[in-house]
C-alpha cells in the first residue's frame, strides 16, 4: 500500500510540474513576442518626466505639457513624414531623428538634447566652437511655460520626434536661466 501511495503522489506531482512548466513556457513565449511595460504612461508623460528632471537640475520651474502644443507638434512633424531628414530645429521647436531599424523612445530624444549641456558655457552664454547647444537651452529656457511633443513614423522607417515650446526660448542676448 505504501508503494502505491508514493506512486500516486509522485504521478500527481509530475503532472502538476508538467502543467507549471507548460504555463511558464507559454507565458515566456507571449512575453517575448510583445514586451510588457510595468508602468503605462502617455506620450506626454514620456516627454515631460525627463524635461522636468533637467529643469529641476537647473533650478527652473517645470513646464506644463499641453494638448494644444502637442497637436501643433504633431501637425508640424506630419508634414515631414515622407522626408523626415528635412525636418530641422527652428525657433521654439526641438527635433530628433532616430535611424531606421531601432525602437526610439521620447527619453532618447530628450537625452540627446540634454547631452548638449556639455557644450554650453553659461558664463559666456555660448556653445563650444563647432558644437550645438540650442536644443538644450530651449529645454531649460526659464521663460518657457508650456510645451507639447509628437512622434511620427517616417516612410523611410526612421522616427521623428518634435517638441514645441511656448514662449519660445533662445532669445538673442539672454541666458536660459
CATH number at residue 98: 3.40.33.10
Q: 20-34: per-residue pLDDT in tens?
A: 444 444 444 444 444
Whether the bond into 167 is cis, omega within 30 of 0: yes
145 within a domain of the structure (yes/no): yes
| Mean pLDDT across 60-67 | 94
| Domain-embedded: residue 2 | no
Cell numbers representing residue 155 in the block: 516612410
pLDDT surpassing 90 at residue 11: no
Q: Is residue 4 included in any domain, yes or no?
A: no
pLDDT of 7 higher than 60 = no
Q: List the one residue out of 161, 119, 147 whose CA is nearest residue 52.
A: 147
In a domain, 60, yes or no: no
Examine residue 75 and state whether it is found in any structural domain, yes or no. Answer: yes
pLDDT at 103 > cutoff 60? yes
Q: How many domains does the chain have?
A: 1
Which structural domain range is residue 137 located in?
65-166
- Give domain status of residue 51, yes or no: no
Strand ordering across the sheet containing 146-153: 64-65, 146-153, 159-166, 93-98
151 assigned to some structural domain:
yes
Instruction: With respect to residue 150, please indicate whether it lies within any of the assigned structural domains.
Output: yes
Amino acid at each position: 500500500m505504501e508503494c502505491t501511495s508514493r506512486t500516486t503522489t509522485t504521478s500527481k506531482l509530475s503532472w502538476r510540474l508538467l502543467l507549471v512548466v507548460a504555463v511558464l513556457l507559454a507565458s515566456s513565449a507571449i512575453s517575448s513576442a510583445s514586451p510588457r511595460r510595468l508602468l503605462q504612461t502617455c506620450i506626454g508623460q514620456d516627454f515631460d518626466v525627463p524635461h522636468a528632471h533637467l529643469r529641476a537640475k537647473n533650478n527652473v520651474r517645470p513646464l506644463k505639457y499641453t494638448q494644444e502644443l502637442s497637436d501643433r507638434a504633431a501637425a508640424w512633424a506630419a508634414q515631414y513624414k515622407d522626408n523626415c531628414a528635412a525636418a530641422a530645429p527652428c525657433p521654439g521647436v526641438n527635433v530628433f531623428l532616430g535611424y531606421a531599424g531601432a525602437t526610439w523612445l521620447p527619453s532618447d530624444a530628450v537625452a540627446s538634447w540634454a547631452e548638449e549641456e556639455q557644450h554650453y558655457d553659461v558664463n559666456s552664454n555660448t556653445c563650444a566652437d563647432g558644437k550645438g547647444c540650442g536644443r538644450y537651452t530651449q529645454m531649460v529656457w526659464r521663460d518657457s511655460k508650456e510645451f507639447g511633443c509628437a512622434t511620427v513614423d517616417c516612410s523611410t522607417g526612421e522616427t521623428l520626434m518634435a517638441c514645441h515650446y511656448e514662449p519660445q526660448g533662445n532669445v538673442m542676448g539672454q541666458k536660459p536661466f
